[in-house]
Chain A
Amino acid sequence: MLHRHLTLAIIILSLGWGLDAFGQQATEMFIPLGQSPGLSKGGSVIGTLESMDPEKHSVTVVSLSGAQTVGITDRTMIWLDLSQQKQPNRNGAINDLQQGRRVEVKVRKGDPKAVAEWIKVQVSP
C-alpha cells in the first residue's frame, strides 16, 4: 500500500492537473462561431456583445438567456471568425471586441470568476 503523501506527490508532480478543461484551442480557432462540437449547443455563450469594460477586464454578452458578464485575462484567446467571407480565421485582439458584434464565449468550467477561455468574434461581410 502506498503512503498517502506518495499519492499526493505523484499527482502533484506528474499530473497535468492545472488546467480544468481539455478542449484543444489550436483547432478550435478554425471552427465557425456556433459550430463548436459539444459546446455551442449549451456549453458556451452565444450572443451580441453589449459592452466592453477595459478597466474591469470584462465583456457583457446578451444571449437568449439574458446578459452575462465574463472576465478577460491575458490568457483569453480572441479569434476573428471570417468563415462567412470564405477567409481564414485569425487571431484577434481586445480592440476587436466591439459593441454589436456577434460573439461566442467559452467560460472556464467551474471558474467562479467566470473568466473567458476564448472568444470568437464574427466579422460580417
Chain B
Amino acid sequence: MKWPTWGQWYQRVLGLIALSCMIWALSAVSACVSVPVPATDLVSKGREIFFNETFNGNGRTCGTCHPAQNNLVLDPAFIATLPPTDPLFVAEFNPDLKKNFENPKLMRQFGLILENLDGFDDLENKFVMRGVPHVLAQRTSVNSNQGPRTGWSGDGAPGDGSLRSFATGAVIQHFTKTLNRVSGVDFRLPTEEELDAIEAFMLSLGRQQDLTLPLPLKGIVAKRGQDIFLDNQLGKCNLCHVNAGATANFGAGNIGNANFNTGVEDLPDQPADLTGEKNPPDDGFGRPGDGTFNTPPLVEAADSGPFFHNNAIETIEGAVAFYDGKAFNNSPAGRALAAADPNQVGIELDGTQIVAIAAFLRVLNALENIRQSLELLESGAKTSFGERAEDRERIKRAVSETQDSIKVLENGGLHPDAVTHLLKAKESAEKAHSSLFRRRALVQQAVDELRNARTQLIEVS
C-alpha cells in the first residue's frame, strides 16, 4: 500500500472541508426555515394559518393576540417588546382604524382589546375592553350541556357558536381594514377548510384531558392549598373548577363549562378605570348581557395572567384573593354559595390560605409546563435530519415552557430545588437548539433535568 502524496493529502483535506461546509450550509438553511412547519396534516396547516394568515385584512393574524412565544396571551410586558409597526398597534398607524377600533392606551398599559359584543351600531359608546385569554386546553374547556362556550362570556363565536366558528367572528372584529367591515373588501372570511384546520390546531394546544385531583404533591404549602381548593366547605374552588379545569359540578354530575356572575365587574379601583379612559361596563353573555362570564381552566392560570375578562388583577395571589372579597361574596354566585353554606358564608379565607391556594396553582402550572417541555423534547428525538427545522422549533418552545415553569415557581418562592434542575434543563435545551452534532445528547440532558425537577414537586410512581 502506497502512502498518499502531499498533493493527494491536500485534495482529501479540501474535500473534507467542502463536505463540512455543505453540512453547515444545509444546517443553516434548515435553521432559517422556522415556523411554519410544512403543512403535512390538519394541525400543522391550522398552525400555519393561525400564525401567518391575515385573511386580506389589516395585517393581524390570530397569533398577533395569541403569540406562541408568550403562552398565547397578551400582557403589557410582552406588548412592550413589540415594534411600533406590529399589526397589534394597527390603530396607531392606520388612519381608517384610528378611532373606535382599539384604545392604544389601555392596550399598552393593561393588555386590553376592544370588542363590540353588543353590536356595531354605536361604536363610540357600545364596546367593552377585554383581556386576551390563552387558548390552551380548549379540548377540556369549551363544551357544556347547553353547547360550546367560547371567549370570555361563552358567546364569542358567530354561526353555530362553536370553537370552529370562532375565527370567523375574530376576523370581522379584529382583522378588518376599515370599520365598514365588508366581507371581500375589508377582509375575507375563513373558508370551511381553514376553519377545520384552525379548530384542529386549537384543540391540539396544551392539555388534552383534565387532571385527577388530589395529586401527591411534595410541597407542604401547595399541598395545603390543594386541600383547601378541594374543600367544598372552605375554598369551594372545585365546584366551578373541577380538577382545576374549566368545568363545574355541584354534586349532580359534571355540567361542563358554565357561566357565572361572580362580580368581577363590581371590583373597586379597576386598573383600566383609574386611567380615566372610557371603559363601559361589560354585561357578559348575550345581547343585552346577563352579567355572566364563563370559567377558564386554572391549570394554565399562573403563567397566563393578568386575570379575569378585564385583566383587573395582575397576580395569581390577587386572583385567588378576589373570591374572599366583597365583590365576589355580594355577587349572585357568592350569594348562592352563602345560601348553601351551614354558616351562611360564601368564601372566607385568610392570607395564608389564599397564598396556599395560589402556591398549589403555581405548582400545577409548573407541572404542566414540565409535561409540555418533555413532550416537545421527546417527540424531537424521533425526527430525522430532514426535520431539523421542526425539531429546533420544538426545542425552542420547550425552552419557553421551561422558562415559564421557572418563573412561576420563583415568583411564588416555591421549590428552589426544582428551580435549580429547571435552570439546568433550560441551559441544555438552549445548547441543543444551536448544536448540530450534540443535539440529541443535550436534549437527553434537558429531559433528565426536567424529570428531576418533577420529582421535587410530586411523588412520581
Interface residues of A (CB under 8 A from B): 1-7, 9-11, 13-32, 35-40, 43, 82-83, 86-89, 91
B residues near A4, Cβ cutoff 8 Å: 251-252
Cα–Cα distance between A6 and B239 once the two chains are bound (Å): 11
B residues near A15, Cβ cutoff 8 Å: 258-260, 292
> Known contacts A13-B333, A25-B287, A91-B121; is A30 also within 8 Å of B160 by CB?
no
A26 and B116 contacting across the interface, CB-CB below 8 Å: yes
> Known contacts A7-B250, A36-B158; is A27 also within 8 Å of B340 by CB?
no
Cα–Cα distance between A21 and B146 once the two chains are bound (Å): 7
Fill in one digit per residue for B286-297: 1 if any A CB lies within 8 Å of its CB, else 0: 110010100000
A6 and B159 contacting across the interface, CB-CB below 8 Å: no
Q: Which of A20, A22, A28, A88 contacts B182 (CB 8 A)?
A: A88
B168 and A37 contacting across the interface, CB-CB below 8 Å: yes
> Known contacts A22-B149, A23-B155, A88-B181; is A7 also within 8 Å of B120 by CB?
no
A30 and B181 contacting across the interface, CB-CB below 8 Å: yes
A39 and B160 contacting across the interface, CB-CB below 8 Å: yes
- Of the listed stretches B85-93, B97-105, B183-191, chain A binds B183-191
Residue among A13, A26, A37, A38 with max Cβ neighbours from chain B (10 Å): A37
A13 and B335 contacting across the interface, CB-CB below 8 Å: yes
Shortest beta-carbon distance from A89 to chain B in Å = 8
Shortest beta-carbon distance from B248 to chain A in Å = 8
Interface residues of B (CB under 8 A from A): 116-121, 146-151, 153-162, 164-165, 168-169, 172-173, 180-185, 189-190, 192, 195, 232, 239, 250-252, 255, 258-262, 284-287, 290, 292, 332-333, 335-337, 339-340
Cα–Cα distance between A83 and B261 once the two chains are bound (Å): 38
B340 and A6 contacting across the interface, CB-CB below 8 Å: yes
Q: Which of B116, B184, B340 contacts A9 (CB 8 A)?
A: B340
> Known contacts A19-B286, A23-B161; is A2 also within 8 Å of B250 by CB?
yes
A26 and B232 contacting across the interface, CB-CB below 8 Å: no
A residues near B149, Cβ cutoff 8 Å: 22
Cα–Cα distance between A17 and B138 once the two chains are bound (Å): 21
A residues near B118, Cβ cutoff 8 Å: 26
Residue among A3, A21, A28, A38 with max Cβ neighbours from chain B (10 Å): A38
Cα–Cα distance between A30 and B187 once the two chains are bound (Å): 11
A83 and B340 contacting across the interface, CB-CB below 8 Å: no
Cα–Cα distance between A5 and B252 once the two chains are bound (Å): 11
A11 and B250 contacting across the interface, CB-CB below 8 Å: yes
B residues near A10, Cβ cutoff 8 Å: 239, 250, 333, 336-337, 340
- A sample of 13 more A-B contacts (CB under 8 A), given A9-B339, A9-B340, is A2-B232, A6-B336, A10-B340, A15-B258, A18-B286, A19-B155, A20-B147, A22-B161, A32-B183, A37-B159, A37-B168, A86-B185, A88-B180
B residues near A24, Cβ cutoff 8 Å: 117, 151, 155-158, 161, 169
Cα–Cα distance between A13 and B157 once the two chains are bound (Å): 25
Cα–Cα distance between A29 and B149 once the two chains are bound (Å): 20
A residues near B262, Cβ cutoff 8 Å: 14
> Known contacts A86-B182, A86-B185, A87-B182; is A30 also within 8 Å of B165 by CB?
no
Cα–Cα distance between A23 and B150 once the two chains are bound (Å): 10
A residues near B184, Cβ cutoff 8 Å: 32, 83, 86
> Known contacts A7-B251, A19-B285, A25-B287; is A38 also within 8 Å of B332 by CB?
no
B158 and A27 contacting across the interface, CB-CB below 8 Å: yes
Q: Which residue of A lies closest to B337 (CB)?
A: A10
Q: Which residue of A lies closest to B342 (CB)?
A: A3
B residues near A89, Cβ cutoff 8 Å: 181-182
Cα–Cα distance between A35 and B187 once the two chains are bound (Å): 14
Q: Which of A25, A27, A91 contacts B168 (CB 8 A)?
A: A27
B336 and A27 contacting across the interface, CB-CB below 8 Å: no
B252 and A14 contacting across the interface, CB-CB below 8 Å: no
B183 and A31 contacting across the interface, CB-CB below 8 Å: yes
Q: Which of A5, A11, A30 contacts B183 (CB 8 A)?
A: A30
Shortest beta-carbon distance from A90 to chain B in Å = 8
B residues near A88, Cβ cutoff 8 Å: 180-182
B336 and A14 contacting across the interface, CB-CB below 8 Å: yes
5 A-B pairs with CB atoms under 8 Å apart are A9-B336, A17-B146, A24-B156, A24-B158, A37-B165
